[in-house]
Amino acid sequence: MDLSTSGFALLALVAVIVLLLIYIAAGSGKSKRNAILIVGRSGTGENKSVGKTALLKQLKNSEQPKYGLLPSLVVNSAEITVNGKPVRVMDVPGMVPSLLEDLLDRAKGIIFMVDSSEIRDHARRDAEILHDVLTQGSIMKEKIPMLIFCNKSDLIASSSPDVSLGIRDLRREGCGDAVKTYLERELQLIRSSAVNAVETAGGTKQKQKEFLGFEEEVFRFEHVPNKLTFASGSVIKGNIDPVQKFMAETTA
């Protein structure tokens, strides 16, 4: 091999390495959906939070800490084995909503938790967070699946009628009907005020945000393109089968 040939070979090798590095860098920059997020409101004072950290602990160790739980201020993350495969699960603290926006890019699936025993008092806050998540551009466009998990079924009184919404017995109607009805009503109201606020502020809709449902129709969950599943359970009672089913389906 003369000098010019070996020089050329060296140059080609350097070019290949550079291209390889660029390819790797570009790949690592892409959003990688590799985690299941647990999302939902936090509580203050008398009001209890929905149970996200409790759920993560249940998934990880099948038990709850002896001395209860404090509100989380950081993201709790754990690797859970689902069908023999490791799955990253992240519990996003309700007290720090700013953490949610970036993490949504990592979501392969979302477990949205509500406290079904307190849905009547907290449906507005629950729905605000749900609205933020569902209208985030990529979550809607990529149709990221979501489980709406109505926790604390152990605390629901046997009859909690709400005549104005046609709810006769929250315990019997459960997550599928009663909680869905509360959230739909609030999402409809939030949706209207969100459009009004944006239009007043600048005349154009926010970037990255999608409109929830159809503009001419009263909001229904059926209008959302994502696959939404509603299920009830109780972390404290170890009744989290719907969560495990959702995780298995989402990561299959």
Residues that bind ligand GTP (CB under 6 A): 40, 42, 48-54, 68-69, 71-72, 93-95, 151-152, 154-155, 234-236
The entry of Mg ion, ligand GTP, none near residue 50 (CB within 5 to 8 angstroms by kind) is ligand GTP
Of these, 53, 135, 136, 251, which contacts Mg ion (CB under 5 A)? 53
- Our CB check for Mg ion shows the closer of 118 and 184 to be 118
- Our CB check for ligand GTP shows the closer of 51 and 174 to be 51
Residue 231: φ, ψ to 5°:
-155, 150
CB of 71 to Mg ion, least distance (A): 6
With CA atoms as reference, report the closest residue to 171 among 148, 150, 187, 147. Answer: 150
Question: Could you count the other beta carbons within 10 Å of the beta carbon of residue 220?
Answer: 13
72 is an interface residue for Mg ion by CB under 5 A:
yes
DSSP letters of 93-145? -TT-THHHHHHGGGEEEEEEEEEGGGHHHHHHHHHHHHHHHHTBHHHHHTT--
DSSP 3-state assignment of 50? coil
CB of 167 to ligand GTP, least distance (A): 21
CB of 90 to ligand GTP, least distance (A): 12
Q: Which two tokens stand for residue 84?
A: 């023999």
CB of 192 to ligand GTP, least distance (A): 28
